[in-house]
Structure 1
Amino acid sequence: MGKQFAAMLPEHEEFIRRQHLFFVGSAPLSEEGHVNVSPKGHDSFRILSENRVAYLDMTGSGNETSAHIHENGRVTVMFCAFEGPPNILRLYGTGTVVLPGSSEWESLYPLFTPLPGARQIITIDVHKVQTSCGYSIPFMTYEDERETLQRWSVQKGEEGLKQYRQEKNSASIDGLPTPLGEMNG
């Protein structure tokens, strides 16, 4: 059965640090809006305190999480054990989008390994941690990170990435603005 906690315990933090993959879920307020779940990889997740986390977000084909957080703040992060004992861990919280050039970016970005195509940092104030069994999650072996997105970002270059973000990352699929879109609008 699932257990709930007001903050991450040391064993939760240790579990998170061992994972190579996490999922981010968000949704707009509109009933007609699309719920979004995004897989994230690379060494892009950081624990800032027992109730605060952040991840370095890369340029991608959409920017749904950013738009949803900008609209209503709600976000959930999920980790699954694909190796070792079964476990699922969810972090429920309120997110903030941190853009390059801001003072918060300058303090957070050095915590991450620089990756080409980094577009924003998502911080999350965690108000609930939940663990559950994970008995149905299959075993999968980690092989390596894909370098496709990094190669694509390098090939695009800074100007190409800026143009791509303006075209593809300024609004959600439901038309909600993102902080990137407002900054460039």
Structure 2
Amino acid sequence: MNLVIVYPSWSSFGFYDLLANEPDAKVQKERPPFGVREIVGWLSDDVSSSVSAKALITRLEDCQLRGQSEYLGFGNAHHMAYAAGHLYLECEYSEGSQVLMTIEQAVSTLSDYMVFLQAGVRNKEAPPQPFMVEYLAEGEESYRRIEALGGRLGFSVEEMKGVSRADRQENKRRVLVDKSHTSKKS
């Protein structure tokens, strides 16, 4: 299990690690592990808002209730997959940037991220509160573990058919709405 304190900054996320236990010790800036960078990249690149974080929490809880493995899709930069109470994240653009978290760890991180976003204060004199990020594994180990749990990246053929069908239905709905608005203007 990996546990790291994230000290977010208002302009972008910053990462720090306390290397000494003395109360007046200076906080030293360090390069965080891949897992933390992946999680923070996912938060800033793909989640990015309180509304998205809340929707993702609901989606993860729904996955847990259904209890079956599911590819959750691809955001701006990250793939997400669910299997057996775990969330797997993988960055499309960075080799080795993979992480595995329990759903509880993911929900906790998303909730803390929402608190950071909702504070909305951009005052350097009142920095945002740090929060803990916890995860099980990073890199190739995380992929091996999600695979062993029955997780996968990518949609199945049946899921692709469903997505295509849903897209076609949505396009038809838009055309009907557009025609309706056009005919009312005439």
TM-score (norm 1): 0.26
TM-score for the superposition, normalised by structure 2: 0.26
Which is higher, the Rg of structure 1 or of structure 2?
Answer: 2
Point out the structure with the larger helix share. 2
